[in-house]
């Protein structure tokens, strides 16, 4: 297996009586993958399982060539992945440098590599001039960028980002998309987002989840093609992807409804 492969088979996740993911099959290789879907579709549940912070109800999860349900293999996987949740905790009194270095320590990075790795990660997110500022003094967008820095400090082979551009201004989002494309040349990057423009600008592949099931998986161009030709003379790439997204959702819902009708 490619060491940068994510493979889930029959993945089911439950939250009490609610089924968040329903026998999901998904395989991802190197590159930048956009994870799209309506609110409540199961995107965050999937990212949490891939980050090994949540356990599935059933199914098989293979990450970086290892079995994520095995304690021994899960420990090794965690050293090799990066994760940015929608909300993350930090000690307000830590400086940015201390916060990112702390995460590097949690990932068991060799101590002699940590200082340079921290400075590189912080520079990559545009916080080099605030590296010794305390976290409590940062704006919301800066805190988000510090969160991205901790996710990439160990040069992860698998990078999982849940709504990473929340709180970033337009210029910062452009820079972040450039960073994603750079990271995707050597790693598997999964970006869960509701912002189609981020997917259109930075992702090579798209997985669309609806009702805990995989509704579409393919390239951004293939998703765009589902929307058909536009009648607007100045139609943008973002609008084209949005049309494809809508078409894929509607097709999946129609198929699911037909399947339910056949069982009645």
The pLDDT tens digits of the residues spanning 138-185 come to: 999 999 999 999 999 999 999 999 999 888 888 888 999 999 999 999
Does residue 109 belong to any structural domain of this protein?
yes
68-120 residue pLDDT tens: 988 889 999 999 999 999 989 999 999 999 999 999 999 999 999 999 999 99
Report the mean per-residue pLDDT for the chain: 90
- pLDDT for 1 equals 40
Is residue 159 helix, strand or coil?
Answer: strand
Is the pLDDT at 200 greater than 90, yes or no? no
The count of domains in the chain is 1
Residue closest to 24 by CA, chosen among 251, 16, 35: 35
Does residue 230 belong to any structural domain of this protein?
yes
Give the DSSP letter of residue 95. B
- pLDDT for 16 equals 86
**What's 211's domain CATH number?**
3.40.50.300
Does residue 206 belong to any structural domain of this protein?
yes
- pLDDT for 167 equals 83
Does residue 1 belong to any structural domain of this protein?
no
**Cα–Cα distance for residue pair 206/225, rounded to 1 Å:** 13
C-beta separation of 239 from 196 below 8 A:
no
Helix axes 96-106, 140-152, angle to 10 degrees: 30
For residue 119, the enclosing domain spans: 6-263
92-103 residue pLDDT tens: 999 999 999 999
Is the pLDDT at 245 greater than 60, yes or no? yes
- pLDDT for 70 equals 87
Does residue 252 belong to any structural domain of this protein?
yes
- pLDDT for 237 equals 72
Band the pLDDT of 2: cuts 50, 70, 90.
very low
Does residue 222 belong to any structural domain of this protein?
yes
Is the pLDDT at 229 greater than 70, yes or no? no
Residue 70, both tokens? 């095995």
Is the pLDDT at 4 greater than 50, yes or no? no
Give the DSSP letter of residue 189. E
**pTM of model > 0.75:** yes
């Amino acid at each position: 297996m490619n060491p940068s492969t994510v493979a889930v088979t029959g993945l089911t996740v439950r939250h009490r009586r609610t089924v968040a993911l329903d026998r999901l099959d998904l395989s991802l290789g190197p590159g930048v993958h956009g994870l799209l879907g309506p609110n409540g579709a199961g995107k965050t549940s999937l990212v949490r399982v891939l980050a090994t912070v949540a356990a599935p109800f059933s199914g098989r999860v293979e990450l970086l060539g290892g079995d994520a349900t095995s304690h021994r293999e899960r420990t090794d996987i965690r050293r090799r992945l990066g994760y940015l949740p929608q909300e993350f905790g930090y000690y307000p009194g830590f400086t940015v440098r201390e916060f990112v270095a702390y995460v590097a320590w949690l990932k068991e990075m060799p101590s002699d590599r940590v200082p340079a790795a921290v400075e590189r990660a912080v520079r990559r997110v545009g916080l080099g001039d605030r590296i010794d500022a305390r976290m409590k003094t940062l704006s919301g967008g800066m805190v988000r960028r510090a969160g991205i820095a901790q996710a990439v400090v160990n040069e992860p082979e698998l990078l999982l980002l849940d709504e990473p551009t929340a709180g970033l201004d337009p210029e910062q989002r452009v820079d972040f998309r450039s960073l994603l494309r750079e990271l995707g040349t050597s790693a598997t990057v999964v970006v869960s987002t509701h912002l189609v423009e981020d997917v259109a600008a930075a992702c090579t592949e798209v997985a669309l989840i609806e009702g805990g099931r995989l509704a579409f998986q393919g390239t951004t161009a293939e998703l765009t093609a589902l929307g058909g030709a536009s009648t607007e003379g100045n139609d943008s790439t973002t609008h084209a992807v949005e049309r494809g997204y809508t078409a894929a959702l509607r097709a999946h819902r129609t198929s699911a409804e037909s399947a339910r009708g056949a069982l009645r």
